[in-house]
Structure 1
Amino acid sequence: MTFGFAPPPQVPPPTSADSAARLGRMLEPAEWASAGIPLLRNPREVVAGLHDRHRPVPSTAIVAVLDVQERVTASASFTELTAAPDGWEYRNALLVHLRRVIPHDLRLRAPVRTAVLLYCREGEPLWTETDGAWMWGLRDACTLHGLRCGAYITLTPDRWQVLGEGRGGRRPKPSTVDKPVTAARRTGAERMETRRTTAGRPEAPHTAAPLPAAPNRSMARRTGGGAPEAHRHTAAR
Structure 2
Amino acid sequence: MTFGFAPSPTASTSTSADLSTASATRVLEPAEWAAAGIPLLRNPREVVSGLHARHRPEPATAIVAVLDPDERLRASASFIRRSAPADGWMFRNALLAQLRRVIPHDLRRRTPVRTAVLLYCREGDARWTEEDGAWMWGLRDACTLHGLRCGAYITLTRDGWQVLGEGRGGRRPHAESAPEPIGALEVPPPPPPLPRTGGAASGSLRHVAAR
Provide TM-score, normalisation by structure 2: 0.76
CA distance in 2, matches of 1:126, 1:158: 11
Count of residues in correspondence between the two structures = 167
SS at match of 2:91: helix
Does the Cα contact within 8 Å between 1:157 and 1:171 map onto a contact in 2?
no
Does the Cα contact within 8 Å between 1:155 and 1:171 map onto a contact in 2?
no
Query: What does 1:188-227 align with in structure 2 at a 5 Å threshold?
Result: none
SS at match of 2:166: coil
SS at match of 1:44: helix
1:16 to partner: Cα distance:
1.2
Query: 1:54 is matched with which residue?
Result: 55
Cα distance change of structure 1 residues 46 and 55 upon mapping to structure 2, 3 Å threshold: same
Larger radius of gyration: 1
Does the Cα contact within 8 Å between 2:122 and 2:156 map onto a contact in 1?
yes
Query: What does 1:81-160 align with in structure 2 at a 5 Å threshold?
Result: 81-160=82-161
1:77 aligns with 2:78: yes
Q: Which runs of 4+ in 1 moved over 6 A?
A: none
CA distance in 2, matches of 1:139, 1:176: 30
Does the Cα contact within 8 Å between 2:64 and 2:119 map onto a contact in 1?
yes
What are the superposed Cα offsets for residues 44-64 of structure 1, whole Å, 9 maximum, x if unpaired?
000000000000000000000
1:174 aligns with 2:178: yes
Segments of structure 1 that go 5 or more residues without pairing to the other structure are 1-11, 179-237
Cα distance change of structure 1 residues 107 and 55 upon mapping to structure 2, 3 Å threshold: same
Cα distance change of structure 1 residues 159 and 176 upon mapping to structure 2, 3 Å threshold: closer
CA distance in 2, matches of 1:17, 1:82: 21
- The aligned amino acid for 1:96 is A
Does the Cα contact within 8 Å between 2:56 and 2:179 map onto a contact in 1?
no
Query: 1:64 is matched with which residue?
Result: 65
CA distance in 1, matches of 2:181, 2:30: 37
Does the Cα contact within 8 Å between 2:88 and 2:135 map onto a contact in 1?
yes
Does the Cα contact within 8 Å between 2:124 and 2:157 map onto a contact in 1?
yes
The structure with the largest helix share of the pair is 2
Output the aligned Cα RMSD: 1.5
What are the superposed Cα offsets for residues 147-166 of structure 1, whole Å, 9 maximum, x if unpaired?
00000000001210000000
Query: 2:25 is matched with which residue?
Result: 24
CA distance in 1, matches of 2:19, 2:81: 20
Segments of structure 2 that go 5 or more residues without pairing to the other structure are 1-11, 183-211
CA distance in 2, matches of 1:109, 1:76: 26
Cα distance change of structure 1 residues 112 and 134 upon mapping to structure 2, 3 Å threshold: same
1:177 to partner: Cα distance:
4.9
1:40 aligns with 2:44: no
